[in-house]
Amino acid sequence: MRFGVDEASAVALPPAELIRSINALTSEGGDQFFVEILRKPGKRVPRAESDHVYGDGELDFEQD
């Protein structure tokens, strides 16, 4: 993931820091920003019924 005022100034950013970075930028008067999110290949695999409750928001992914 990359974040910045525009594409040219965007730098790598851990996903957990995105909201904090947006808040910091807007508190400094920024009214726009650039976010680049790249996908990772993955394959969803079903979990056993006993592993989770329906609708618990948990997803399992298997890396390709």
pLDDT tens-place string over residues 33-62? 999 998 888 888 887 766 555 555 566 666
State the pLDDT at residue 2: 96
Residue with tokens 């008067």: 29
pTM of this structure: 0.59
Secondary structure of the chain in HEC code, one letter for each residue: CEEECCHHHCEECCHHHHHHHHHHHHHCCCCCCEEECCCCCEEECCCCHHHCCCCCCCCCEEEC
Residue 17 has pLDDT above 90, yes or no: yes
Residue ranges of the domains in the chain?
Answer: 2-63
What does the pLDDT read at residue 8? 96
Q: pLDDT confidence of 6, banded at 50, 70, 90?
A: very high
> Is it the case that residue 9 has pLDDT exceeding 70?
yes
Contact call for residues 12 and 1 (beta carbons, < 8 A): yes
